[in-house]
Chain A
C-alpha cells in the first residue's frame, strides 16, 4: 500500500465530502457526510505523516504533485453522484485495507470503511429502487464515473475481483445496470489530473497560502 497515493485519495475525498456540510438534502445526511469526511481525514493524516510532513504535503503541493486517483477529485454533483463515487471508492479502499492487515492504518481503517460501504450501498438501493428520477440520476452518475474505476487497480490488480463482486451485487439489488465497457481515464497516480483538482486545492490551501504557518 502506497501511503502517498492512498493518503492523497483520502485527503482529496475528505475535502470533497466536507463541501456538502450545510448543503446536504437532510440534516442526518449532512452529519453523515461530515462523519465520512472526518474518518478519511484521520486516515489521510496518518498516511501522509508516514510519507513526509502532513502539513507540507497537504498545503504546499500543486496539482501535479498529488498522487490521488481521478475518481476522488470528481465534483460532488448531485447527491446521487456523491453516493456513486463513494460506493466505487469505499468499495476499493475496503479491499485495499483488508489486503494489508499488517499495516496499522489499514487495520484500523477497515472497520471505519466497512461502515462507509454500508452507507453507500444502502443509499444506492434506496435511490436505485426509488423514483424514476432517482433511478435516472443514479444511472447517469454510474455512466459518468465508471471511466475512472480502471485506475484504482493499476497498482494491485488482484483487488478488482472482490471489488467487482461487491459493486455488481449492490447494483443488482438496486435495480441498476453495471455500465458496459467504457474508455478508461487515468493519470492521477502520475500527477496528470482533471482541472477539478486545481479548483479543490485552491480552496483547501487558500488560508495557508495567505497566512503561512498559521495555527488555531
Chain B
C-alpha cells in the first residue's frame, strides 16, 4: 500500500502526453493527492486550458501509475504558467522550447521572448497559436530558427 506522499511522487513523475520531456509535476497540474476514509487514493488535477485534449490521456496515465486511484479534475484556482517549476523551465529550454515568462509581478516591457537555441532576444511572433493550445509560434531574427514559446496564462 503506497502512502499519499509516495503516490504524489508517482503521479508527479508521469510524463505529459503532449510534451513528454515534462512531467505532470513539472507542469504543476497535480494539485493534491489524498486518501479517502476508506483508504482509496484520490489524485486531484487541473487542466492547463479548458479544452486541453490531453486530459483523458493524462487521467489514463495516472491510473496506470497508481492502479485503483480515482482522478478528480478541478478548474479552480485556474492553472497558470507560473506553476511550471524551475526544473520544468530548464527542460523546456533544453528541448528547444522557450519557457513562459513569470506573470506574478511586474514584467519589464523590454523583456522579449529569447530564442531557446541561440539566446538572442531578437525574435518575432509568427502566430499567437501553435500546435497545442499552450504554445505560440516565434522565429529568431538572429539564427533564423523557428521555435515554440510556452505562452503566459
Using a CB–CB distance below 8 Å, which chain A residues touch chain B? Answer: 28-29, 31-32, 35-36, 38-43, 45-46, 104-105, 107-109, 111-112, 115, 118-119, 122
Contact = CB atoms under 8 A, between A and B. Distances in A.
Interface in B98-137: 126-131, 133, 137
A108 B127 contact: no
B65 interface: no
A104 B76 contact: yes
Interface stretch (B3-11, B36-44, B49-57): B49-57
A121 B76 CA distance: 28
Contacts of A42: 47, 49-52
A42 B77 CA distance: 16
7 contacts: A31-B130, A35-B129, A38-B53, A42-B50, A42-B51, A112-B50, A112-B153
B76 A36 contact: no
A109 B133 CA distance: 13
Interface of B: 47, 49-53, 74-79, 126-131, 133, 137, 151, 153
B78 A39 contact: no
A13 B78 CA distance: 23
Nearest to B52: A42
A122 to B, nearest CB: 8
Contact of B50 (A31, A32, A39, A115): A39
A112 B51 CA distance: 10
Given A104-B75, A108-B76, A119-B129, A38 B51 contact: yes
A46 B49 CA distance: 12
B80 to A, nearest CB: 8
B79 to A, nearest CB: 8
Contacts of A104: 74-76, 78
